[in-house]
Each structure stands twice: as structure tokens, then as C-alpha cells.
Structure 1
């Protein structure tokens, strides 16, 4: 299996490109037991997660990853924790929004799926 930094970069490149261009296709990254926490709202299961992501109130979105860090999470199953910080531009807005997102990736038949996903805008005060 590739090193953690490579896996994290490949995953985040794929995730954010897919999020920005075809949110329904993110379903392949989640499972029925996956959980998303989006701005303090917990959502369980692939169907509910994709419904949430598709229903977000913007037409156009672009993520710019600033940092991507990875650590092993559970050596017994080779899971990975990935922490991402970046900027999010919605609907051609002039001011990008800073965000943080954390993924726990679980290996599955030579690839990984998202077991946990926590997203938060960093708006301050």
C-alpha cells in the first residue's frame, strides 16, 4: 500500500474534484455505516450523506486545499486520519471561506472509503 501522504493526496484530489463537479458521485466513497458531521449536524449513511451534500445551497463550488496531513488511525486495519485545511469559494463569491475537514479512511478491497467525515467552516468570532 502507498505511503500515507500519497494516499491522503490522491484521496483529497479525487474528493474535492468530485465535490466541485459532480456531488452525487461522492456516494462511491461512503458506506451505510459512514457518518458525516457538517457544521455540527450528524448524518449517518451513504444515502443521507449524499442527500445532504447535494442539497447544499449553492450552484458552483471550488475547493483549494492549503494543507493535507495524514496519520495512521488503527494499525490493525490500516485506517488513516486525514486533516485538510483550505479555502472554499461558492457561486463565484469574491471572498473565499476558510474550512477544515477531517476524514477517517478505512481500507476496502485495495482502496479506501470514508468512515468518518467532519466538515467545519472557520469563520471565527
Structure 2
């Protein structure tokens, strides 16, 4: 079995670099059965998820990962991330948590489930 922490770190780095640079490029990470819960709103399917993420009014966004935890689950990986994000020109970061359920496919992984929440009151 591959080092799950290394796989998790590689995924997290790729995901947030791609999200911050060009959200439309996240499509290959999702499948038609993938589900995104973004602030409580659910979106099903790779095309709909990319449309949702691309439509967010978040120009110049930068994610800063503070913690990441990775565990094996059902032949896949469960990854929980906490961190801060700054939108273009903002000086006060917003805190977030995001959880990914990655499933194996052809020697790699795809995102089956993705749950994102802003954390208020910190």
C-alpha cells in the first residue's frame, strides 16, 4: 500500500493549486456519481460540480492549508483539511474545513465525495 499521507498531501497540493489557478481544470478529479456539499448545498456529477465551483465569485483566491489528516477507508482515502482562504485583495482570512473521500481508479484516485464549509466565530 502506498504511503497514504504522501498520497493525501500530493492530492491536497494539486487540488488547491488547481482550484486557485483555474477551477474549470478540476473536472477530471470528479465522476458522474461524485457529490459536492458546498455550504450545505449538494451538487451531483462532475459537470455540475465544475459548473458550481467555477461560478463562485472568488477571484484571486488563495488557500492556505493548516492541517490535513488522511485515513484509509473502503479501499480509498478519507482526507480532512482545515485552513484559511483569502479572496483577491482581502486582508482578513476566512477559515474553512473540507473533507474528501477519494476512491481508487486505474492506479489513481478520484473524488467521490467533497464537503466544504466555512468556519465562523474563530
Short-chain TM bin: over 0.9
| Runs of 4+ in structure 1 over 2 Å off | none
How many residues matched? 122
Q: Which residue of 1 aligns with 2:106?
A: 109
Structure 1-normalised TM-score? 0.95
Could you tell me which residue of structure 2 aligns to residue 57 of structure 1? 57
- Tell me how far 1:58 sits from its aligned partner: 2.0
TM-score normalized with structure 2 length: 0.97
Q: How is 1:1-125 mapped onto 2 (pairs within 5 angstroms)?
A: 1-74=1-74, 78-124=75-121
Q: CA deviation at 1:84?
A: 0.2
Q: Secondary structure at the match of 2:63?
A: strand
Alignment RMSD (CA, Å): 1.1
Structure 2 gaps, min length 5? none
Cα shift at 1:3: 1.0
